[in-house]
Amino acid sequence: MSTAERLIETTRELLWERGYVGTSPKAIQQRAGAGQGSMYHHFSGKPDLALAAIRRSAEEMQAKAEQQFGGPGTALERITAYLRREREVLKGCPIGRLTQDPDVMADPELRRPVDETFAWLHGRFTALLTEARDQGELNAALDPASTASTVVAVLQGGYVLARAAGSDEPFHRAVEGVLGLLAGHATAPAPSHDR
Amino acid sequence: MSTAERLIETTRELLWERGYVGTSPKAIQQRAGAGQGSMYHHFSGKPDLALAAIRRSAEEMQAKAEQQFGGPGTALERITAYLRREREVLKGCPIGRLTQDPDVMADPELRRPVDETFAWLHGRFTALLTEARDQGELNAALDPASTASTVVAVLQGGYVLARAAGSDEPFHRAVEGVLGLLAGHATAPAPSHDR
DNA sequence: GTCTATAGCGTGATAGAC
DNA sequence: GTCTATCACGCTATAGAC
């Protein structure tokens, strides 16, 4: 693994653990086992390195989500699979937490990957919920776009509640709660596609 | 307004805007119009002042919530009133954001008010949802405790989505989405209490 | 590419005068 | 109670040797 690679990965970790304001170039260098000069050779400074780290985390989050979204099963089953997927709940969402970092939100370049990731996620959920509705898995009275925002918010808020409590429980309760609400809106067993 | 008062209020503002790590004693003193010596006369240091500020914000959040919870209407109407209440959405939740501050979460004293506020909020919502269920406003199949976590998470996650997008819209969509999900679970018009 | 040395500034806190 | 002076330290970055 190259030095630049190690610097990016280390920055991703520290951004996740301590946020942008709480992460110093020095801390990155020490954990990555790189000197000052090395870091400034590969990156112009803290914002440049953070941009590389944030972009990679955003890509990773989308790729992981696509694993469940593009998997087998009905639309509602794929949504359920995504919501119930294993997560490092107490560490929080590596992208969502950047939202609370004033210096990240103040810089359009750093902010863009965050904005785009949630816009993508919302679009993906809206499409899946529309599919579920059209297949009769979900009540037609529900607005897919609003429900999509609700589902994404439950995950992000679940992380907040879990960290406040110092326990995974509130996160899982929130997820099961929204699944219960969605389940009650099923109108009929989903028809099989192939006949 | 006393100097100590001004210091606490200023700290509440800065904690909301920039978090604990991003807020320096110097910045507090300048905005509050107080000197170094003045601050250290009234408070033992940054953590002590932050504790006073966090406690007050936690109390305020609970008091504001109780305005809607204890207001008129059925349980579901009071929940709706709370969810639709005016908020400074783009500023985020002054308590929820502390959850992302590693130094706050690492200090049991600073962390306690955050933990307690969300525990209280969850309990309050659980009671209201139980009441709604018993009054036939809500499907009996729903678990009040899980649904309560979902509702609180929607608010906290709504703030995250709004800040990511730089717009109030995702917050309001998420709120209307969960109200839509709850509405579909009504089993019958709520009976009047008084006859 | 990586190292060490250095710079200028901010942070969190203390000391002691008024 | 509030002020100014001072401290040791950490932050982000640059310079220049190797």
CB B177 within 8 A of CB A150: yes
pLDDT tens per residue across span B55-100: 999 999 999 999 999 999 999 999 999 999 999 999 999 999 999 9
Condensed to tens digits (0 to 9), the pLDDT of residues A121-166 reads 999 999 999 999 999 999 999 999 999 999 999 999 999 999 999 9
Is the pLDDT confidence value at A190 over 50? no
Interface test with B, best of A150, A171, A178 (most B CBs within 10 A): A150
pLDDT of res. A187: 64
Q: Nearest CA of chain A to the CA of B27: how many Å?
A: 15
Q: Which nucleotides of D are covered by protein (CB under 7 A)?
A: 1-6, 10-17
Distance of CA B178 to the CA centre of its chain: 17
pLDDT above 70 for B191:
no
| pLDDT value of residue A195 | 38
What integer pLDDT is reported at residue B187 of this predicted model?
A: 63
Which of B18, B96, B149 minimises the CB distance to A173?
B149
Domains and CATH numbers, chain A: 58-183 (1.10.357.10)
* CA B98 / C1′ C4 distance in Å: 39
A101 contact residues in B (CB cutoff 8 A): 19
pLDDT grade, residue A185 (50/70/90)? Answer: confident
| Mean pLDDT confidence for B7-19 | 98
Could you report the per-residue pLDDT of B125-183, keeping only the tens digit for each? Answer: 999 999 999 999 999 999 999 999 999 999 999 999 999 999 999 999 999 999 999 99
In terms of Cβ atoms closer than 10 Å to its own Cβ (0-12, 13-18, 19+), residue B120 is middle
Instruction: Quickly list H helices, chain A.
Output: 3-18, 25-32, 36-42, 46-69, 75-84, 102-106, 108-134, 144-165, 169-183
Distance CA B50, CA B30 (A): 16
**In Å, how far from its chain's centre is CA B68?**
13
Over residues A72-111, the pLDDT tens digits come to 999 999 999 999 999 999 999 999 999 999 999 999 999 9
Confidence band for B195, pLDDT divided at 50, 70 and 90: very low
What mean pLDDT is predicted for residues A160-175?
98
Q: How many angstroms from the chain centroid is the CA of residue B64?
A: 9
pLDDT in tens, A11-33: 999 999 999 999 999 999 999 99
Residues with Cβ within 8 Å of B63's Cβ and at least 6 positions away in sequence, in order, are none
**CA B30, C1' D5: Å apart?**
18
Alpha-carbon distances of B122 from A170, B131, B147, B152, rounded to whole Å: 9, 14, 10, 7
pLDDT surpassing 60 at residue B192: no
Query: A186 or A39: which carries more pLDDT confidence?
Result: A39
| Total residues belonging to chain A | 195
Q: Which residues of B fall within a CB distance of 8 Å from A142?
A: 180-181, 184
A-B C-beta contacts closer than 8 Å: 196
- CA B45, C1' D3: Å apart? 18
To which residue do tokens 């909020």 refer?
B121
